[in-house]
Amino acid sequence: MQIETKLPKVGTTIFSVMSQLALDHKAVNLGQGFPDFEPPQPLRDAITRAMAEGRNQYAPGIGLQPLREQIALKTERLYGHKLDPNTEVTVTSGATEALFAAIAAVVRAGDEVIVFDPAYDSYEPAIELQGARAVHIPLLAPSFGIDWQRVRDAITPRTRMILINSPHNPTGAVLSAADLDELAAIVRDTEIVVLSDEVYEHIVYDGAQHESVLRHPELAARSFVVSSFGKTYHCTGWKLGYAVAPKALSAEFRKVHQYLTFCTFHPAQVAFAEFMASTPEHYLELPAFYQEKRDRFRELIKPSRFKLLDVPGGYFQLVDYSAISDKDDVAFCEWMVKEGGVAAIPLTPFYDKAPGTHYLRLCFAKSDATMEAAAERLCKL
């Protein structure tokens, strides 16, 4: 049987490739973006208790009511945006599902979706599966800000969505309130929907606040906002996320969600509802928690030949390896995991047309022991 693929550009992800290489060569894995430490003990106790109490069957498709209420409370507390938990909050099987469902809900064949490179690798396949086209606009290195004039120039009658990500993966760049004002001016008086990937919303540094589109009433009225429990609570393997959107957008989102995963892991929803109610300080303390790791990691690799870029948000450190090698970034990553004993992620796979930079992404959501072991090896390169 001859199969004509619907995703001809998609192969094994760079994350899977580098993680396998790390295993094969017993390297320290700073590639794939997950913590190597455990979620809070009370949260783990809550999920165990939920399973013991029999919360093991289907949850409501849109998410448990107590959890949706906690999400609404958090959103109003942080961003001043009041939500109806019954019509504007949907719990999903991870943020990646939420991103896919949002795109599938409103993007049609022939539409265009503006994305910013380097971009998380799930965006374009979700767009292409709708028969639509991703329009790529490069961010401005080394700060990785958005050139809003290029966005204006890219708008056509077919533009259906603009997809933003802040704090940004892989660069750590964050959008400002002025950026959101620019975006609002561009989409005003259009039918363009905004999809805002905010999975690192609680990981911003140096006293800055996260500028969610939910702080901006004009944008909130036309946006999907996607968040991640896994990133916030150090449990990426539980695959729990959620999407916030106005009633009309949420209604379309839920039509896709109910046939995509229908519902999400029940015991984890019980646990998160309980933990969010009892321990709201967790996400409030997250910036300081990760800033300590960021600063520690930067200090450890400061003696190396890598040039460190600024990290305003997220838990990734971009480094420039130009002083070490003139290999392309994919080849250098393969060499580094085999010869240097550290796995990283190259930036090229995050681009439609890679600009030939010498940047790597290193994850510092790691224990002190892991960071120290990695830094010792990196400083020898």
Residues with Cβ within 8 Å of 102's Cβ and at least 6 positions away in sequence, in order, are 195, 224, 226, 243, 245, 253
Of 152, 250, 254, 242, nearest in space to 197 by CA: 242
- Parallel, antiparallel, or unpaired for β 342-343 and 28-29? parallel
pLDDT band at 16; cut points 50, 70, 90: confident
Domain with CATH 3.40.640.10 in the chain: 57-279
Report the distance separating Cα 236 and Cα 226, nearest Å: 15
Read off the pLDDT of residues 287-322 as tens digits, 9 standing for 90 and up.
Answer: 999 999 999 999 999 999 999 999 999 999 999 999
pLDDT for 269 beyond 90: yes
* Residues in Cβ contact with 161 at an 8 Å cutoff, skipping those fewer than 6 apart: 103, 106, 107, 111, 113, 114, 192, 193, 194, 195
Task: State how far the Cα of 161 lies from the Cα of 30, in Å rounded to an integer.
Answer: 33
Whether pLDDT at 270 is above 90: yes
Are 30 and 15 a contacting pair, CB within 8 Å? Answer: no
pLDDT tens for 103-143 read 999 999 999 999 999 999 999 999 999 999 999 999 998 99
The model's pTM is 0.96
* Comma-separated ranges of CATH 3.90.1150.10 domains in the chain: 14-39+282-378
Structure confidence by residue, pLDDT tens digits, 198-223? 999 999 999 999 999 999 999 999 99
- The highest-level CATH class for domain 14-39+282-378 is alpha beta
Bridge partner list, 276: none
Q: Indicate the pLDDT class of residue 357, thresholds 50, 70 and 90.
A: confident
Could you report the per-residue pLDDT of 169-201, keeping only the tens digit for each?
999 999 999 999 999 999 999 999 999 999 999
Please compute the mean of the pLDDT values over residues 18-29 and round it to a whole number. Answer: 91
CA-angle at 158, arms to 116 and 140, nearest 5°: 20
The pLDDT value recorded for residue 80 is 97
Q: In 3-state terms, what secondary structure has residue 380?
A: coil
The helix (H) or strand (E) run that includes residue 261 is none
Is the distance from CB of 211 to CB of 175 less than 8 angstroms?
A: yes
Fold of 57-279: Aspartate Aminotransferase; domain 2 (3.40.640)
Separation in Å, CA 197 to CA 223, 228, 379? 10, 9, 34
